[in-house]
Amino acid sequence: MKKLILGSALLASVGAFSVSSYAADAKVITEEAAIKAALAEVGVEVLGIRFDEPDTQWDVFVRSGEQAYEVEVDAVSGKIVAAEKESLAEIQAELSGDLSHEGVAGDIDK
């Protein structure tokens, strides 16, 4: 019985070593690539991201089908502050710097 347990443990450790060796030798994708693949699978595209310094948050602009959204993420806690539908034109204006986070032309976040 002891030989069976010892043999099983040895076989398991060799198998684990083989998997670890494979993972170390194989090229794996980056976290960013994994996120991109996951979002594409569910039909969400990241249009852009910017740091909103006055509010200490990240503004993440995404599109799902024909709907576009701005998701505001607290830069300290990582919690979602707000998520709102926006037009693609609004998002493009915000990302280009033509429109501020409050939607005021010329009041640009830098």
Does 33 have pLDDT greater than 60? yes
Name the token pair of 66: 């024909």
Bridge partners of 46?
62
Contact status, residue 32 vs residue 38, Cβ threshold 8 Å = no
Contact status, residue 109 vs residue 95, Cβ threshold 8 Å = no
Length of the chain: 110
Tell me the CATH class for 43-110.
alpha beta
Does 19 have pLDDT greater than 80? no
58-79, pLDDT tens digit by residue?
A: 999 999 998 999 999 999 999 9
Contact status, residue 76 vs residue 56, Cβ threshold 8 Å = yes
22-31, pLDDT tens digit by residue?
A: 566 789 999 9
Its pTM surpasses 0.75: no
